[in-house]
């Protein structure tokens, strides 16, 4: 059994990790870390865990945890993992970090967009970006995996084949994304109260959302050159889900058949990516509670643009599910282990 510890187990992503790992046939949770609820019963924080989890919440002592766990998940705010990790810990255990601390390879860009000093930049180069469908060959041997963000997972996977195959004008990419409120975390914040969110939709982080450089960096690797995008997220009144709609100019002569061939080349054999039939467009409700990514597209012959659309559950494929998928790769298990989750409906 893989012994897993979670730091940040009482946030939404942390609780989702608990839910998934409790059902995982090869994993055992040995540490429910939560600085806010130390010594409280985990099931008192999340009543859905009553009679399923008898453990009490513990602190974020990563050094002690490293001696007990084969893998540590850090579902924490930006900066915490970077402040705790050190060489001794990495010689004892593997880390899957759900924060942004090790996603961006340029420390100056990280510090600019996140507004904090990076506490362990020496590990940025070593960390593997854990987008499994693209980097699985590198993930298996890693000590430190940077679990991608939710918006970034959806946006990158939606556009990756088209950028990789050179079918679009890279600097024409515009991504318009919508997320449910769980993406903002469990903390009590005025803008996320029911009366503030219900019956409304709003953009935020316009031109400066901190997932922007992450998307640009990863699509830049696919393109073989740096690129710039416009990325605008929106908050919608639902619990879970992300819809990313990406627009890009096609290069001269590119056809719909080439677009279809590119998606099939990279995703036809991917279990968690479902390419929709022609004329079908993804909806968040059809992936809720699952690790699936549904992708569809439409070529606009009139404007010679492609409109590509992807959906995920932001707490599963956008966070905890992808983290478990990374764990499976780290320990040589089939990626679907513990993640063959049928989407919930209604």
Catalytic residues, by residue number, are 150
- Give the whole-angstrom CA distance, residue 4 versus residue 257: 45
139's tokens: 């993930």
Dihedral of alpha carbons 88, 93, 96, 97, sign: negative
10's tokens: 């009482």
78 and 84 Cβ atoms separated by less than 8 Å = no
Residue keyed to tokens 């079918």 = 167
User: What number of CA atoms fall less than 13 Å from residue 78's CA on the CB side?
Assistant: 17
- Give the whole-angstrom CA distance, residue 69 versus residue 65: 6
Listed residue (197, 96, 202) closest to 145, CA to CA: 96
Listed residue (113, 145, 150, 100) closest to 127, CA to CA: 145
């Amino acid at each position: 059994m893989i012994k897993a510890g979670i730091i940040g187990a009482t946030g939404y992503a942390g609780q989702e990790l608990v839910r998934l790992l409790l059902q995982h046939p090869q994993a055992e949770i040995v540490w429910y870390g939560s600085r806010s609820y130390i010594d409280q019963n985990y099931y008192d924080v999340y009543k859905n865990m009553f009679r399923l989890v008898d453990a009490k919440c513990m602190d974020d002592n990563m050094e002690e945890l490293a001696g007990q766990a084969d893998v540590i998940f850090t579902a924490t705010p930006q900066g915490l993992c970077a402040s705790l990790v050190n060489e001794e810990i990495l010689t004892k255990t593997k880390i899957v970090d759900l924060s942004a601390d090790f996603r961006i390879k340029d420390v100056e860009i990280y510090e600019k967009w996140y507004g904090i000093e990076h506490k362990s930049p020496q590990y940025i180069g070593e960390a593997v970006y854990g987008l499994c469908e693209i980097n699985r060959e590198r993930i298996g041997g890693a000590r430190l995996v940077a679990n991608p963000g939710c918006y970034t997972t959806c946006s990158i996977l939606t556009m990756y084949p088209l950028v990789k195959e050179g079918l679009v004008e890279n600097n024409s990419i515009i991504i318009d994304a919508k997320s449910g409120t769980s993406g903002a975390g469990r903390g009590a914040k005025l803008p996320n109260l029911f009366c503030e969110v219900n019956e409304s939709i709003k953009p935020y982080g316009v031109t400066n959302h901190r997932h922007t450089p992450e998307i640009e960096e990863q699509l830049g690797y696919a393109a073989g050159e740096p690129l710039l995008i416009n990325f605008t997220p929106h908050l919608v009144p639902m619990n879970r889900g992300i819809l990313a709609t990406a627009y890009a100019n096609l290069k001269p002569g590119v056809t719909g058949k080439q677009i279809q061939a590119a998606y099939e080349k990279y995703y036809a054999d991917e279990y968690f990516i479902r390419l929709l039939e022609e004329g079908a467009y993804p909806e968040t409700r059809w992936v809720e509670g699952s690790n699936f990514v549904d992708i569809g597209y439409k070529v606009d012959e009139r404007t010679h643009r492609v409109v590509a659309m992807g959906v995920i559950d932001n707490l599963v494929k956008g966070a905890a599910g992808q983290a478990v998928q990374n764990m499976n790769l780290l320990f040589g298990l089939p990626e679907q282990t513990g993640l063959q989750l049928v989407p919930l409906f209604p």
